[in-house]
Structure 1
Amino acid sequence: MRRSRLAYLPLVFPLLAFAEFLAFVSVAHAIGFGWATLLAAAFSVTGVLLLRREGIRGFRAFQEATRDGRPPAAGVTNSLIGLAGALLLALPGFITGVAGILLLLPPSRLLARRGIERLAARRLGGAATGDLFGPRRVRVHQSDPVTVVVVDEQRPTPPAGAIEGEIVR
């Protein structure tokens, strides 16, 4: 019988604490104990301040999506990634701080959102994922004689001559 990944979670936290301790000692050795403590405190304070901002941003994105009749998950997922980044930044430590900063930067936030969408597509299936995240973006090579039109979220009706449908693997 296959063990759940959650069964390994109690092992992760002590390992993370040990890694954070080693990272703090390394940074303190490089720049000094006082500066390392000040830097860790600055990470935590910044994370706490960003938690509120990202939470409000996520709630507003959800409200706007439901008011406009759009799938809410794309904006909400982006905000949840920002919340996770702010939470990691608020936790004391340099490893979680750097991971939080990476999740707050737009390129890595986009990568994380795509990863969440792929995970949701694997777990929930294509139809439920389309309802959550909206229409999929399709890339067609220039050599193909087929033109693919994807309906935009802002324009719920397809352009004239476009055929609506679902792509099945």
Structure 2
Amino acid sequence: MRWFVITVAALVGTAILEVALIAASVHYLGVLVTLLLMVATSALGFWLLTRQSSRAWREMRSATADQRPPTAEAVDGVYALVASLLVVVPGFLTDAIGLIALIPVVRRAVHRRVLARLALRLPPSMVGPVRVQAKRGRSSATHTPTTPTTSVDARQLDMGTIVEGDVR
């Protein structure tokens, strides 16, 4: 219920800001220039949408051809689709957010964050390759998902003899 209220408030707030920005644009630039800008950014959004979706589809097919799970490519494709759709929607605020979201640095940061959150929500057996460390003579083994943010180096641990391996 909380997410629903936040989503509705964000959509209403965005709509109010869009109308205010369009009104300010009409006041300072005129009706014709404002309409031309909105049509031009929507056309740019459609072009980005076709370009980004075909690129994402190509990368997903390449990943499956290499027998890799296309998780990263799928997340990147959905992200590019949402960012391109924001540019298609008429309005200056959504255009700015969509274009900023397509900058490669921003894209990588969001991509890492989404994958990290996704890995936290999935059961450990679905995360993918797992780094396993076990001390001889003990029955307990620790495992952590192999992600850039959670890597464990056996040399830093002082637990005796450690047997390492990747489990797929």
Aligned length: 145
For residue 139 of structure 1, report the CA deviation from its aligned partner. 8.0
For residue 31 of structure 1, report the CA deviation from its aligned partner. 3.4
Query: Match for residue 164 of structure 1?
Result: 165
Query: Match for residue 48 of structure 1?
Result: 46
Runs of 4+ in 1 over 4 A off after TM superposition: none
Alignment of 1:26-65 (within 5 A): 26-65=24-63
Residues 4 and 138 (structure 1), Cα distance of their counterparts in 2 relative to 1, 3 Å cut: closer
Tell whether 2:147 aligns with 1:136.
Answer: yes
For residue 106 of structure 1, report the CA deviation from its aligned partner. 0.3
Using the size of structure 2 for normalisation, the TM-score is: 0.72
Instruction: After superposition, give the CA deviation of every residue in 1:76-104 in whole Å (9 maximum; x if it has no partner).
Output: 21122111111100000111101110111
For residue 114 of structure 1, report the CA deviation from its aligned partner. 1.4
**CA–CA distance in structure 1, aligned partners of residues 20 and 97 of structure 2:** 16
Q: Which runs of 5+ in 2 are unaligned?
A: 130-144, 157-162
For residue 118 of structure 1, report the CA deviation from its aligned partner. 2.1
Instruction: After superposition, give the CA deviation of every residue in 1:56-91 in whole Å (9 maximum; x if it has no partner).
Output: 112111111111111211122112211111110000
Structure 1 residue corresponding to 2:78, chosen from 64, 68, 80: 80
Larger radius of gyration: 2
Residues 24 and 125 (structure 1), Cα distance of their counterparts in 2 relative to 1, 3 Å cut: farther
Residues 12 and 137 (structure 1), Cα distance of their counterparts in 2 relative to 1, 3 Å cut: closer
- The one-letter code of the counterpart of 2:71 is A
Query: Which is strand-richer, 1 or 2?
Result: 2
- Larger CA deviation: 86-95 vs 118-127: 118-127
